[in-house]
Structure 1
Amino acid sequence: MNMRFPYRFSIKWKMTAGFFIVNLASLLMMLLFSHNYFGEVIQKDFYRLSSESATNVNHHFDYYFKQMIRSTNSLTRNSVVQTWLTHKEARISSEDTVESELVRSIGNNYPEIVGMFLMSGDGDIVSSFGKFYSNPLYYQQEPWFHTPISPETKVLSTHRVNYPQQSQVPVLSLIIPVYSVSDIELCGRLIIDFNMSEIGSTFNSSNLGHNGFFFILSDDDTIVYHPNAEWLGLPRSQTEMVTLNLDNPNNTFIQSWHDGSWLVSKSSSYVTDWRIVAVTPFDEMAGGLKTARNATWFTFFVITLCILFVVPYVSARFVQPVIMLQNLMRRLAGGDLSVRAKINEGKDELQELNISFNTMVKQLKELNETVIELRVKEIKFMLRQKEAAIRVLQNQINPHLLYNSLELIKSIAYLEKTPKIELLARNLADVYRYNAKFADAEVTLRDEIQHLMNYLGIVKIRFSLYFQSNIYVHEKFLDCLCVKLTLQPIAENAVKYAVEPNGGDAAILVSAYNEDQDLIIEIADNGPGITEARLNDLTSQLAQITEHCDAEYVRNESLGITNVHARLVLKYGERYGIRLSSFGGKGTVVSIRIPFRVEQPNARKSSI
């Protein structure tokens, strides 16, 4: 019942409904594609923007730290500083001078530096905050205090320190190794604490929308930088950022966060190995997606109105010619083969349909006439078949006198002890008995070879001194089916043109091999061969038989090459039959191609 439901409505309303459904499907597909496409574009743009910002931060970090290290070269090479680091006994007297140098270096360098400390190899410290704050016990809680002295420059992630008149100050620490100018040995290190102002100014130049921001995480998931200064130096697990999942294997992805969809991008700093993360609300980056979505909806409503008002009118103009053609088809179904549709000039599809209808009516009329003609021919053909069957039965009766006579000759030869005449009579009787069967029957290759051996035995008796024949056919091919009287006529041809002209001094060789799904049987002789002109003529005849094969070839009295070829083509198709190859003065090879079909065990065998 459901399958018949659409047929209850006219084509006009089905076209209207179809256009509406197509329009709705197009809208949904457009919304889906635009969402996916713009989503991918937004992610790519966001990743590009965040990557550029991360690259800028990396370059800035590299340049910034190198410049800060260069700015301290004069301080670390100062004679007073070198004396304090390398001569323990002079530290008390030179401590004030070293402190002054530290303060002067802070004033001459970057304003974001909030503290500077010189630490000797044995743990003594001079602070830029004064002698009171140079006691090592005051800095045992600092992360750089217990860091082993190393020849590598290090940047420690944000941590909070207590300074005079300041507490819990978030700073980064730059640890610079100091070498002795006399022996180039590592003698201490310079620690510089600086705030986030320079990092913040770098990120502020990147636009991530109204609510987007960057933050930096150290390798232990501590917040190095965040717009919220209260979170600096804290583990991420102690802030609201803990709900942000950063384990996604993609560098850029969309995540549900803070009751919305957020774009997240991750990258690494090659200077510090910190993670630079950019986050921004998806809606702030998807302004173009909203515009495309609204435009799609507007287009949908406009097209829907056009469908509801225009399609019914237009479809009626298309349906009318179809109704006229329907009436003509009803007349044709009633047997009126004189109906014709009206044809107007143009390339309209309905006109093409009318032309096709007229062509169909014409072909039906011709087909009707052809069927009548073929029916008459079929009746005539059936009559000819009956006549042929009668002739075959007559031909089977006529040879009995010949068989009996040959059997009598064989018996007399046996009694008179003349074995050659006995063998000749027996072979000749077998040959005639085999030939008396239906010409179009199939036999096994074993039967054909036995018949061929009987015939070659007669030829051997005739040319007993010189004639030679050999059959090289593998036993696995002997059950292959083939048309009867295929091999013997070819061998008879070879006897006529190769053996007899040489007085019997010749040989006939028979072999077989399979090729794909076919069996190739070759009959070769070593006679004088066929001239090129005659070979071309025979090849042309075989090609014409293949193209215009007719049953007359089977009824031809000749059993030569053309007759065998015609019967093979009629039985198996155009790709099968005979191919000739000849070599002047060396002989001729006749190749017979038949399908490799093995006789079934319960197949009915042909009989005389």
Structure 2
Amino acid sequence: MRHLQNKIWSLAVVVLLIMVVIWVSLTYYNEKMQDQYNQILERYLVMNELSVMSQELVTALNTYTLHPSKENLEKVQQYKHQVNDRTLEMNAYKHVDNEAELTNYTHLVNSVVELTDQSINFQLSGETDTAKLALSEALHVSDYVSELRLSVIDAESSSYDRFYREMIERSEALTELGIWLLLLIILLLLCFTYWFSQRITKPLESLTYSAKQLSKGDFDAQIITNSKDETAILASTFEQMRININHLFKEIRQKAKLEKELQQSRYLLKESQLLSLQRQINPHFLFNTLNTLSKKAYMEGSMETSDLLVSIADLLRYNLKHMDQPTALREEVYVLKQYVDIQKARFTDRLTFHCDIEETCLDVQIPGLTLQPIIENAIIHAVEPNEDGGVITFRVTHNEQRVAIEIEDNGPGMTSEKVDELLDSNTQTVSERSTGIGFKNVVQRLRIFNGEHDIVHINSQLGIGTTVTLYISKDRGEKKDD
């Protein structure tokens, strides 16, 4: 719970910082007003001291004129230095409202100092009368300094009155500012409290929603939280639980799928066994009859008829033997050629068959009776309904992993819906015009044999033709050889 405690302490610190900022602002404002008030008082004091010191300077000068001595001269010099210091200090108190009055005031004080220097110089040079005239003028200027001090103080008083009124206005403005600051603080606290509560409640709401989804059986929605406190640990635990349950469900689905495929495999096996039983009606009688007819045709000089009967016998023998077990692609190709020879005898020049086979691929294992149903479908749809016949091309190529078997025809083609229907393994159909092993049956047997789903591709265009491609895994074939 440390992170949640940190958030609560953060809220307290923010409130404390806001109060400190307000206190510092008010303190600074009050000190500024106090400084302005102190400056006015200090100006009054400095002006009074400067007026008194100028009078004392003239008094000391008068004493030195009446009784010239070194002690009296030093006293005059001492008062003169004090007056100069106070004059420099007075310049620091000038502002826009009193600059003219203070400038005149300091000039008069400087005039008193200058007249004092002149009187001393005349006294030292023996010009006593001239020194007394300078002293008289210094006395006159000193009196004028005292009068001017009163006028400056009056001007300062009017300035002080304005300052006092401004201070009252500022006090009222400060009260209004305090109200607005209070409202602003309340608003900021409400906003921050809302944001703070959202940072706590939002992750909890997200976890609550995720828990409801899990209770409904939805285990695919990922549980995500942007929080970095204890709720993040709780969310991570929920997410791990969701992943484990989801994996468990996937394993159950996979087992169910494998069981379904096993049932389908058993169904296909029973179907193939049934078809095999149906075709094994007195097989020795059929073989002996076909062999007898073949030899009789050969003896009568009908070589083509003899070869045709041999092909039929070989085809029948292969169908009965390899229905339920894999065989080498080489044997499938041999029987396929026998079947094409039989069909050529039927369609003569209307059937054109091309082969392009890589011999290195012929040792791969393949389920028995895989190629004949596809070639038969191509003949039924591409050759039989067309008066000019059709062209069927058979190719066998390979890469490092798989062998590709292509059966291409120039028939009418199929729609994409028909292609999807042929590749759909949810239904089982048997072609009425083929050997009994329908196309879907071939696809399903190949998928079970290879242990993969994507092993049959159909590329078909209306009016152009159809290409069926079968992919046989080389690894699968090697295992079969073993």
Normalising by the smaller structure, the TM-score range is 0.3 to 0.5
Q: Which has the higher strand share?
A: 1
TM-score (norm 1): 0.33
TM-score (norm 2): 0.41
Q: Which has the higher helix share?
A: 2
Query: Highest Rg: 1 or 2?
Result: 2
